[in-house]
Amino acid sequence: MKFIKCKELKDKKTDLAFGKNFTDYMFVLEYHNGAWDYENACIKPYEPFSLDPSTSVFHYGQAVFEGLKAYKNDKGEVRIFRPMDNMNRMIDSCERVCIPPFDTKFVHDALVELVKLEKDWIPTAPGTSLYIRPFAMGVDKALGVHAAKNYILSIILSPVGAYYTHGLAPVSLCVEEHYKRACIGGTGHHKVAGNYAASILAADLAEKKGYDQVLWLDAQENKYMEEVGSMNIFFVIDGVVITPMLAGSILPGITRRSTIELLKARGYKIEERRVSVAEVVAAADNGTLNEIFGTGTAAVVSPVGTFGYLGKDYQVGDGGMGKITKYVYDELTGIQTGIKPDEFGWVEKVI
Ligand SMILES: *Cc1c(COP(=O)(O)O)cnc(C)c1O
């Protein structure tokens, strides 16, 4: 792998607003002449791409991304959470939008090398981490809707604090009646860039109504809970943990999978099945809706205090953070940071 050294390093920012500051270096791998050019893969100073105005991704959005985190403890040890899972999911996303598959081991190793190089950027305070953003896009200089012949795959890094500025405080969700994020056969099952463009309007409207995020319903029947903006969703009803099953329109979250594996191993009752909004409203009405929480790399676990549906607001449990929510948060972040033993083999200790 090539390495181009920075002439000058940036001041390490203490502002850890999510995704606002980036480290000194980036990774770049290009695809041309029918192959990924591993020989010229490069870790180099973080800098803008220079792209022609006709570049295909600007017009047709042939792009995918990933998100994962590295954690550093006060002994200086650095851990990355399930990075190969992200590589494998990225390959699946690429396949869905005709981006040629890449060598996951090569990109994984480049990611680890980049994180090691940038270790001094990783914050150590509780709740902080280094957010890792791999992405890939079609960069043909030509209009016309078809798979590009040229691609860029890149990785950038951003030191981050807690995802929500108000910390682990419960969020409010608005069950979206009209707009859809994903449908079976579409791209919602993959981390494809356009999915997020499709979600912004509903998120803006929900925010204007005073909610933090949108809770999406299925596109076919408009009845079943799917997920939140960039989080999967879990309900605790009468002591049973329930999460919508993956049926082709829900993003297969790695935090979701980890939560299911953790709770199963610890003897919780957990079901992956369809959950209707009617079931959750009924549980809220009869006092059996104990908890709702979201899971995703950015926030890890996010308690839900209220949700709105058809103009009415429902309180979840006592409106505060639930017991299982707190348990999952403490266990997952404990494993991620190395405070708790990694009994599932999820963590790669890179330093
Ligand atoms: C990334 C993402 C998630 C969470 O996935 P993790 O692997 O847990 O970070 C959930 N839903 C959507 C739509 C996402 O983009």
Centre of ligand 1 from the C-alpha of residue 189, in Å: 10
pLDDT, tens digit, for every residue of 10-39? 998 778 888 999 999 999 999 999 999 999
Share of the chain above pLDDT 70, in %: 99
**Which DSSP letter does residue 86 get?**
H
Could you report the per-residue pLDDT of 281-297, keeping only the tens digit for each? 999 999 999 999 999 99
Ligand 1 pocket member 296 (CB < 6 A): yes
What residues does CATH 3.30.470.10 cover in the chain? 2-160
Does residue 55 line the site of ligand 1, with CB under 6 A?
Answer: no
Helix spans in the chain (H): 56-60, 83-96, 104-117, 193-208, 254-265, 277-286, 323-337
Dist. CA 252 → ligand 1 center (Å): 7
Residues 80-97: what's their mean pLDDT? 98
For 140-166, the pLDDT digits (tens) are 999 999 999 999 999 999 999 876 666
Query: What integer pLDDT is reported at residue 164 of this predicted model?
Result: 64
pLDDT number for residue 15 = 83
Q: What value does the mean pLDDT take over residues 87-100? A: 98
- CB-count burial class (<10 Å; 0-12, 13-18, 19+) for 103: middle
Return the ∠ at Cα 158 (arms to 332 and 204), rounded to 5°: 85
What's the CATH code, domain 171-337? 3.20.10.10
Question: Region 92-109: what's the mean pLDDT?
Answer: 98
**pLDDT (tens digit, 9 = 90+) per residue, 196-247?**
999 999 999 999 999 999 999 999 999 999 999 899 999 999 999 999 999 9
Question: Please, is 117 exposed, middle or buried when counting C-beta atoms within 10 Å of its C-beta (0-12, 13-18, 19+)?
Answer: middle
pLDDT recorded at residue 12: 87
Helix ranges (H only) for 130-227 are: 193-208
**Contact (CB, 8 A) for 107 and 87:** yes
User: What pLDDT score does 216 carry?
Assistant: 98
Determine the distance separating the centroid of ligand 1 and the alpha carbon of 10, expressed in angstroms.
30
Q: Is 182 in the pocket of ligand 1 (CB under 6 A)?
A: no
Summary mean pLDDT of the chain: 96
pTM: 0.97
- Per-residue pLDDT averaged across 88-116, rounded? 98
CATH topology of domain 2-160: D-amino Acid Aminotransferase; Chain A, domain 1 (3.30.470)
CATH 3.20.10.10 location in the chain: 171-337
